[in-house]
Amino acid sequence: MRHFPEPFRIKTVEPIKVTTREYREAAIREAGYNTFLLKSEDVFIDLLTDSGTSAMSDAQWAALQLGDEAYAGSRNFYDLEKAIQDIFGYRYVVPTHQGRAAEHIMSKLLIKAGDWVPGNMYFTTTRLHQELAGGNFVDVIIDEAHDPTNAHPFKGNVDLAKLQKLVDRVGPDKIPYISYETCVNMAGGQPISMANLRELREFCDHHGIKIMLDNTRTVENAYFIQKREQGYADKSIKEIVREICAYTDGCTCSAKKDGLVNMGGFLAMNDEDFFVEAKAQVVIYEGLHTYGGMSGRDMAALAQGIREAVATDDYIKYRVEQTNYLGELLTAGEVPHVIPHGGHAIFLDARRFLRHIEQEQFPAQSLAAAIFVETGVRAMERGNVSAGRDPKTGENRRPALELVRLTIPRRVYTQSHMDYTAEGIINLYQKREQLRGLRFVFEPKQLRFFQARFEPIAGD
Ligand SMILES: *Cc1c(COP(=O)(O)O)cnc(C)c1O
Which residue has the least CA distance to atom 2 on ligand 1?
254
Question: Does the N-terminal peptide bond of residue 5 adopt cis geometry, omega within 30 degrees of 0?
Answer: no
Specify if 1 maps to a domain: no
Q: Do 332 and 400 fall into the same domain?
A: yes
pLDDT tens figures, 412-435? 999 999 999 999 999 999 999 999
pLDDT of residue 1: 55
Q: How far apart are CA 369 and CA 28, in angstroms?
A: 7
| DSSP of 50-113 | SSS-PPPPHHHHHHHTT----SS--HHHHHHHHHHHHHH--SEEEEESSHHHHHHHHHHHH--T
pLDDT of residue 17: 94
Q: Do 332 and 301 fall into the same domain?
A: no
Q: Do 397 and 442 fall into the same domain?
A: yes
Q: How far apart are CA 342 and CA 324, in angstroms?
A: 7
Catalytic annotation present for 382: yes
Contact 436, 357 (CB under 8 A): yes
pLDDT tens figures, 267-283? 999 999 999 999 999 99
pLDDT of residue 3: 79
Q: Do 297 and 320 fall into the same domain?
A: no
Instruction: Report the separation in Å between the CA atom of 334 and the middle of ligand 1, taken as the mean of its atom positions.
Output: 31
pLDDT tens figures, 194-206? 999 999 999 999 9
Output the domain CATH number for residue 390.
3.90.1150.10
Mean pLDDT over each residue of the chain, to the nearest integer: 96
Boundary (domain end) residue, out of 311, 341, 365: 311
Which atom of ligand 1 has the smallest separation from the CA of 185? 13
Among 71, 112, 173, 450, which one carries the catalytic annotation?
Answer: 71
Boundary (domain end) residue, out of 311, 344, 376: 311
Specify if 260 maps to a domain: yes
Catalytic annotation present for 449: yes
Specify if 12 maps to a domain: no
pTM beyond 0.85? yes
Boundary (domain end) residue, out of 281, 311, 341: 311
Instruction: Report the separation in Å between the CA atom of 256 and the middle of ligand 1, taken as the mean of its atom positions.
Output: 8
Specify if 415 maps to a domain: yes
Catalytic annotation present for 257: yes
Specify if 5 maps to a domain: no
Instruction: Report the separation in Å between the CA atom of 177 and the middle of ligand 1, taken as the mean of its atom positions.
Output: 18
Q: Do 371 and 429 fall into the same domain?
A: yes
pLDDT of residue 460: 58
Instruction: Report the separation in Å between the CA atom of 124 and the middle of ligand 1, taken as the mean of its atom positions.
Output: 8
Q: Do 320 and 295 fall into the same domain?
A: no
Specify if 272 maps to a domain: yes
Q: Do 399 and 290 fall into the same domain?
A: no
Query: Residue 93 pLDDT > 90, yes or no?
Result: yes
Q: Do 298 and 349 fall into the same domain?
A: no
Q: Do 306 and 193 fall into the same domain?
A: yes
Q: Grade residue 186 by pLDDT with cuts at 50, 70 and 90.
A: confident
Output the domain CATH number for residue 145.
3.40.640.10
Q: Do 148 and 119 fall into the same domain?
A: yes
Q: How far apart are CA 298 and CA 264, in angstroms?
A: 7
Among 115, 159, 214, 349, which one carries the catalytic annotation?
Answer: 214
Dihedrals φ, ψ of 121, to 5°?
70, 180
Specify if 294 maps to a domain: yes
CB under 6 Å to ligand 1: residues?
51, 98-100, 123, 125-126, 181, 185, 214, 216, 254, 256-257, 265
pLDDT of residue 391: 86
Catalytic annotation present for 71: yes
Among 44, 123, 223, 454, which one carries the catalytic annotation?
Answer: 123
Specify if 347 maps to a domain: yes
Contact 263, 56 (CB under 8 A): no
Q: Do 186 and 68 fall into the same domain?
A: yes
Instruction: Report the separation in Å between the CA atom of 216 and the middle of ligand 1, taken as the mean of its atom positions.
Output: 7
Q: Grade residue 446 by pLDDT with cuts at 50, 70 and 90.
A: confident
Query: Residue 215 pLDDT > 70, yes or no?
Result: yes
Q: Which domain holds residue 228?
A: 58-311
Q: How many beta carbons lie within 10 A of that of residue 74, not counting itself?
A: 23
Looking at the structure of the chain, the number of domains it has is 2
Q: Do 198 and 283 fall into the same domain?
A: yes
Q: For the residues 77-87, what does the mean pLDDT come to? A: 98
